[in-house]
Amino acid sequence: MIRYFLGRDLADRLHVPLARWKRWAREFLPPDPLGGLQSGYARHYSIDEAFTVYLAGHLVSRSRFSIPESRQILSDLDHWLAGEGYRAGTATDSPGENGDTEAVHEHLVLIERRPSDSGLSPGFGYTIRGILARQLHNRPGRQIEEEQYRTIRLQSGTEDGTHPQPLEQWLIWITRILQHFVECLELNPHLFAALRQRSKFP
């Protein structure tokens, strides 16, 4: 069964002021086709629409990107998000939809502003790290964390295959953002393939 939410309910559950939620929805979602047909109509959000607004709001309010920058980032990452199970029901039970052979427990996304002298058009590049395993080692007076991961780069290389050093980077723990979203809305985490390995992760 397809589930829909009202904006007021989403704002309350996700602890976002309602006026701010409505503003984000206007900026990051297409116009609601039913909005102009009935006076006083309240928009109904699908799960994916709600997560799009929530993720966009994180980029704006936490990472301090502008509205146009956040819109560009979401557009750049859209195909990757769908392929890696960040859309409800869009990925299969296979370990990865983008050619991976091992299950990824958690993703983090490094957003990089391209240097003006990099030879690339203005915009952003992305380094996406998929964590495959993590071990903690206790040593006297300290704790060592050892990770095994794989890296994907999107829109960050030049024609000769090099990757210019970015001047600025922003770290987005995108799996944790999705998990928080799911918990706040009391959704089944198995709706999202990206969370199916999360429960097995230390």
Give the domain extent around 12.
4-200
pLDDT higher than 90, residue 41? no
Cα separation, 189 vs 199, whole angstroms = 9
pLDDT on residue 27: 97
Cα separation, 51 vs 57, whole angstroms = 10
Reported as a single tens digit per residue, the pLDDT across 92-112 is 554 444 444 478 999 999 999
pLDDT on residue 119: 59
Q: CB of 191 within 8 A of CB of 47? A: yes
Look up residue 194 and give its DSSP letter.
G
pLDDT higher than 70, residue 197? yes
pLDDT on residue 152: 93
H or E segment to which residue 21 belongs? helix 18-28
pLDDT on residue 187: 96
Share of the chain above pLDDT 70, in %: 79
Q: Which residues contact 141 (CB under 8 A, 6 or more apart)?
A: none
Reported as a single tens digit per residue, the pLDDT across 135-152 is 889 989 899 989 999 999
pLDDT on residue 134: 87
**How many domains in the chain?**
1
Q: Mean pLDDT over residues 6-22, rounded?
A: 97
Provide the H-helix boundaries in 29-113.
Answer: 47-61, 67-83
Q: Mean pLDDT over residues 68-91, rounded?
A: 92
pLDDT on residue 94: 46
pLDDT on residue 97: 46
